[in-house]
Amino acid sequence: MSAFALEVADLWAGYEPDLPILRGASIRAAAGEIVVLLGPNGAGKSTLVKAIAGLVAISAGRTSLDGAEITHLPAHLMVRHGLAYVPQTDNVFVAMTVDENLRLAAFAGAGAERRARTESVYALFSELAAQRRRPAGHLSGGQRQMLAIGRALMVRPRVLILDEPSAGLSPRLVETVFAKLAEIRAGGIAILLVEQNARAALAIGDRAYVLVEGRERHEGPAASLWHDPEVARLYLGGLAAGDSESTP
Ligand SMILES: Nc1ncnc2c1ncn2[C@@H]1O[C@H](COP(=O)(O)OP(=O)(O)O)[C@@H](O)[C@H]1O
Ligand SMILES: [Mg+2]
């Protein structure tokens, strides 16, 4: 059995046949680990997670979950194999209530199982429990992000992929959402976290990659990446280098 819940090896993918966006990207995430994916705008972070989720055509390379290949699996079958992907936008049904959003998650089980899963999501996100009959469109940005994560958890994934869950949230809400990710990690799920918010992401992450031009250029424990002067200067806005206040 593979030691890694998610393994991506030498992946090539893109939107047009002659224009690869991913150029040999390789990343891994183990169960119970938060892996952060950083990189400049346009580096291919979203393309990488969409390719893993079966939403962008892969031209070469391999993706696997717990050692089982999922490279060319269609997106709608990914959840059945234990992979849940939360897109950056349009990740909840705004006209439906919180409860309906959770209950209608694909592969969420039936009857008692579905109710148990719904309640475990409410146990994690008590704010959602208080609003279960409200339309998702009426939630705050932070609550909506929690609902999107809750929907993903309804399928009991082994790998959870999130594309910039902190986008548009206040620093306090980012902290709240990331604290929930740490709780989810404690349940043994592998989390791949795409982020612009390097400071907050490296503070909770275990390992991190910096993706540049469709390939990982730096890789390491989150804390050491934070302290790498080149990484700090190029991709973290120079926040970390020589600045003891910035230690996550
Ligand atoms: N749907 C699409 N069709 C064509 N090109 C796209 C599409 N989505 C993204 N791209 C291009 O792919 C490159 C990588 O984008 P993306 O993966 O969104 O980067 P990131 O998430 O790191 O900011 C960019 O040059 C972008 O213009
Ligand atoms: Mg992106």
Backbone angles phi, psi at 167, to 5 degrees: -55, 125
Q: Which ligand is nearest to the CA of 21?
A: 1
Longest dimension (CA), the chain: 56
Segments in the chain forming alpha helices (H): 45-52, 75-78, 98-103, 111-124, 126-129, 141-153, 171-186, 198-204, 222-227, 229-235
Structural contact between residues 46 and 119, judged by C-beta atoms closer than 8 angstroms: no
User: Residue 74 in 3-state DSSP?
Assistant: coil
Query: What would be the CATH architecture of the domain defined by 6-219?
Result: 3-Layer(aba) Sandwich (3.40)
Residues of the chain with pLDDT under 70: 1-3, 106, 234-248
Q: Which ligand is nearest to the CA of 44?
A: 1
pTM of the model: 0.93
Helices (H) and strands (E) in the chain, counts: 10, 10
pLDDT in tens, 192-248: 999 988 889 999 999 999 999 999 999 999 988 888 887 777 666 654 434 444 445
Distance CA 135, CA 117 (A): 20
Half-sphere exposure of 80 (CA within 13 A, CB side): 7
Tell me if 67 CB under 6 Å of ligand 1.
no
Tell me if 14 CB under 6 Å of ligand 1.
no
Radius of gyration of the chain from its Cα atoms, rounded to whole angstroms: 18
Q: How far is the CA of 76 from the centre of ligand 2 (A)?
A: 21
The total number of residues shown for the chain amounts to 248
Q: Which residue is closest in CA terms to ligand 1's atom 26?
A: 42
Q: How far is the CA of 22 from the centre of ligand 1 (A)?
A: 10
Distance CA 83, CA 55 (A): 13
Pairing status of strand 207-212 against strand 34-38 = parallel
Neighbours of ion ligand 2 (CB under 5 A): 45-46
Tell me if 25 CB under 6 Å of ligand 1.
no
Q: How far is the CA of 188 from the centre of ligand 2 (A)?
A: 26
Which pLDDT score, from 0 to 100, does residue 130 have? 95
Q: Which ligand is nearest to the CA of 42?
A: 1
Residue 153: both structure tokens together: 């958890």
Contacts of 171 (CB under 8 A, 6+ apart): 200
Strand partners, 193: 36, 162
Tell me if 166 CB under 6 Å of ligand 1.
no
Structural contact between residues 22 and 50, judged by C-beta atoms closer than 8 angstroms: no
Query: Cα angle at 222 between 141 and 57, to 5 degrees?
Result: 65
Structural contact between residues 36 and 195, judged by C-beta atoms closer than 8 angstroms: yes
Tell me if 39 CB under 6 Å of ligand 1.
yes
Tell me if 56 CB under 6 Å of ligand 1.
no
**Ligand 1 binding pocket mutation candidate from 21, 22, 195 (most atoms within 8 A of CB):** 21
Tell me if 215 CB under 6 Å of ligand 1.
no
Domain ranges across the chain: 6-219
Q: Which ligand is nearest to the CA of 164?
A: 2
Atom of ligand 1 nearest to the CA of 47: 17
Give percent of the chain above pLDDT 90. 79
Atom of ligand 1 nearest to the CA of 48: 17
